Amino acid sequence: MSVNKRTFKKNFLPSLKKKAKNSFIENYGNFSLKATESGYITASQLETVKRISIKFLKDHGSNQLRMGKQNIVWLRVHPTFFVTSKGSEVRIGGGKGSLKTRVAKIDSGQIILEFNLESITIARKLLKLISIRLPIKIVLNSNINLES
Protein backbone atom coordinates (compact mmCIF):
# COMPACT_ATOMS: atom_id res chain seq x y z
CA MET A 1 0.00 0.00 0.00
CA SER A 2 1.44 3.39 -0.98
CA VAL A 3 1.50 6.20 1.56
CA ASN A 4 1.05 9.84 0.65
CA LYS A 5 4.41 11.56 1.22
CA ARG A 6 3.09 15.12 1.20
CA THR A 7 3.06 16.71 4.63
CA PHE A 8 0.74 19.58 3.71
CA LYS A 9 -2.22 19.51 1.39
CA LYS A 10 -2.09 22.13 -1.33
CA ASN A 11 -5.70 23.24 -1.15
CA PHE A 12 -7.75 25.69 -3.17
CA LEU A 13 -8.64 28.95 -1.47
CA PRO A 14 -12.31 29.03 -0.42
CA SER A 15 -14.80 31.57 -1.73
CA LEU A 16 -15.49 34.77 0.21
CA LYS A 17 -19.17 35.24 -0.56
CA LYS A 18 -20.82 34.04 2.64
CA LYS A 19 -21.38 35.44 6.11
CA ALA A 20 -20.13 33.92 9.36
CA LYS A 21 -22.35 31.22 10.84
CA ASN A 22 -21.11 30.35 14.32
CA SER A 23 -18.25 32.73 15.00
CA PHE A 24 -20.18 35.99 15.46
CA ILE A 25 -21.03 35.55 19.17
CA GLU A 26 -18.76 36.88 21.92
CA ASN A 27 -17.65 34.11 24.27
CA TYR A 28 -14.72 35.37 26.34
CA GLY A 29 -14.08 39.11 26.68
CA ASN A 30 -16.29 42.16 27.04
CA PHE A 31 -14.96 43.78 23.84
CA SER A 32 -14.32 42.18 20.48
CA LEU A 33 -13.18 43.18 17.01
CA LYS A 34 -15.59 42.07 14.29
CA ALA A 35 -14.92 41.96 10.54
CA THR A 36 -17.39 43.82 8.36
CA GLU A 37 -16.15 42.38 5.07
CA SER A 38 -14.71 39.10 3.86
CA GLY A 39 -11.05 38.56 3.08
CA TYR A 40 -7.84 36.75 3.89
CA ILE A 41 -5.46 37.54 6.76
CA THR A 42 -1.94 36.12 6.70
CA ALA A 43 -0.26 34.47 9.68
CA SER A 44 2.20 37.35 10.07
CA GLN A 45 -0.66 39.88 10.20
CA LEU A 46 -2.39 37.83 12.91
CA GLU A 47 0.84 37.63 14.91
CA THR A 48 1.29 41.40 14.60
CA VAL A 49 -2.27 42.01 15.81
CA LYS A 50 -1.69 39.71 18.78
CA ARG A 51 1.58 41.43 19.76
CA ILE A 52 0.12 44.93 19.44
CA SER A 53 -2.96 44.08 21.50
CA ILE A 54 -0.98 42.40 24.29
CA LYS A 55 1.41 45.35 24.50
CA PHE A 56 -1.48 47.84 24.46
CA LEU A 57 -3.35 45.96 27.19
CA LYS A 58 -0.20 45.85 29.30
CA ASP A 59 0.09 49.65 29.09
CA HIS A 60 -3.61 50.60 29.33
CA GLY A 61 -5.14 47.69 31.24
CA SER A 62 -6.72 47.72 34.68
CA ASN A 63 -4.88 47.68 38.01
CA GLN A 64 -5.31 43.91 38.28
CA LEU A 65 -3.48 43.52 34.99
CA ARG A 66 -0.65 45.77 36.15
CA MET A 67 -0.19 43.87 39.42
CA GLY A 68 1.19 40.80 37.68
CA LYS A 69 -1.77 39.02 36.17
CA GLN A 70 -1.62 38.14 32.52
CA ASN A 71 -3.16 40.18 29.76
CA ILE A 72 -5.45 37.78 27.98
CA VAL A 73 -6.24 38.20 24.31
CA TRP A 74 -8.41 35.59 22.64
CA LEU A 75 -7.67 35.12 18.94
CA ARG A 76 -10.70 33.55 17.32
CA VAL A 77 -9.20 32.91 13.86
CA HIS A 78 -6.29 30.72 12.86
CA PRO A 79 -4.42 30.43 9.54
CA THR A 80 -5.52 27.10 8.08
CA PHE A 81 -5.03 27.50 4.32
CA PHE A 82 -1.73 27.50 2.46
CA VAL A 83 -0.94 29.89 -0.37
CA THR A 84 1.40 28.53 -3.02
CA SER A 85 3.58 30.38 -5.49
CA LYS A 86 5.95 29.56 -8.31
CA GLY A 87 9.14 31.39 -9.15
CA SER A 88 9.16 34.30 -11.54
CA GLU A 89 11.21 32.55 -14.23
CA VAL A 90 9.55 29.13 -14.05
CA ARG A 91 7.91 27.84 -17.20
CA ILE A 92 4.29 26.79 -17.36
CA GLY A 93 3.47 23.35 -15.99
CA GLY A 94 5.25 21.26 -13.41
CA GLY A 95 2.65 21.42 -10.66
CA LYS A 96 1.10 23.97 -8.39
CA GLY A 97 4.18 25.47 -6.75
CA SER A 98 5.78 25.52 -3.34
CA LEU A 99 4.09 26.64 -0.13
CA LYS A 100 4.57 30.34 0.52
CA THR A 101 2.40 31.52 3.43
CA ARG A 102 -0.60 30.51 5.50
CA VAL A 103 -3.80 32.52 5.51
CA ALA A 104 -7.00 32.61 7.53
CA LYS A 105 -10.32 33.02 5.75
CA ILE A 106 -12.40 35.77 7.35
CA ASP A 107 -16.14 35.94 6.71
CA SER A 108 -18.13 39.12 7.16
CA GLY A 109 -19.47 39.31 10.71
CA GLN A 110 -16.80 37.02 12.13
CA ILE A 111 -15.11 37.93 15.42
CA ILE A 112 -11.33 38.14 15.05
CA LEU A 113 -10.17 39.07 18.55
CA GLU A 114 -11.61 39.38 22.08
CA PHE A 115 -10.20 41.19 25.12
CA ASN A 116 -11.18 42.65 28.51
CA LEU A 117 -11.11 46.41 29.19
CA GLU A 118 -13.14 48.76 31.39
CA SER A 119 -13.45 51.81 29.15
CA ILE A 120 -14.71 52.08 25.59
CA THR A 121 -12.34 54.96 24.76
CA ILE A 122 -9.31 52.76 25.38
CA ALA A 123 -10.91 50.00 23.31
CA ARG A 124 -11.40 52.46 20.43
CA LYS A 125 -7.70 53.35 20.57
CA LEU A 126 -6.85 49.67 20.26
CA LEU A 127 -9.26 49.36 17.33
CA LYS A 128 -7.51 52.22 15.56
CA LEU A 129 -4.08 50.62 16.09
CA ILE A 130 -5.19 47.25 14.77
CA SER A 131 -7.36 48.41 11.86
CA ILE A 132 -4.36 50.09 10.21
CA ARG A 133 -2.54 46.77 9.98
CA LEU A 134 -5.33 44.59 8.60
CA PRO A 135 -6.47 44.40 4.96
CA ILE A 136 -10.16 44.18 5.91
CA LYS A 137 -12.50 46.59 7.69
CA ILE A 138 -13.21 45.88 11.36
CA VAL A 139 -15.51 47.41 13.97
CA LEU A 140 -15.59 47.37 17.75
CA ASN A 141 -18.25 45.17 19.30
CA SER A 142 -19.02 45.50 23.02
CA ASN A 143 -20.67 43.09 25.41
CA ILE A 144 -21.24 45.55 28.29
CA ASN A 145 -23.94 48.11 29.03
CA LEU A 146 -22.75 51.53 27.79
CA GLU A 147 -25.38 53.82 29.34
CA SER A 148 -23.56 54.21 32.65
pLDDT digits (tens, 9 = 90+) for 105-138: 999 999 999 988 878 898 999 999 999 999 999 9
Q: Confirm whether 2 is domain-assigned.
A: no
CA–CA distance, 122 with 46 (Å, rounded to integer): 21
CATH number of the domain residue 58 falls in = 3.90.1170.10
- Tell me how far apart the alpha carbons of residues 4 and 27 are, in angstroms, rounded to a whole number: 39
Question: Per the confidence metrics, is the pTM higher than 0.85?
Answer: no
- The answer to whether residue 8 is domain-embedded is no
46 assigned to some structural domain: yes
Dist. CA 139–CA 34, nearest whole Å: 5
Distance (Å, whole) CA 125 – CA 24: 22
Is residue 74 situated within a structural domain?
yes
Residue 14 lies in a domain: no
Structure confidence by residue, pLDDT tens digits, 21-50 = 776 777 788 899 999 999 999 999 999 999
In a domain, 7, yes or no: no
* Domain membership flag for residue 103: yes
Domain total for the chain? 1
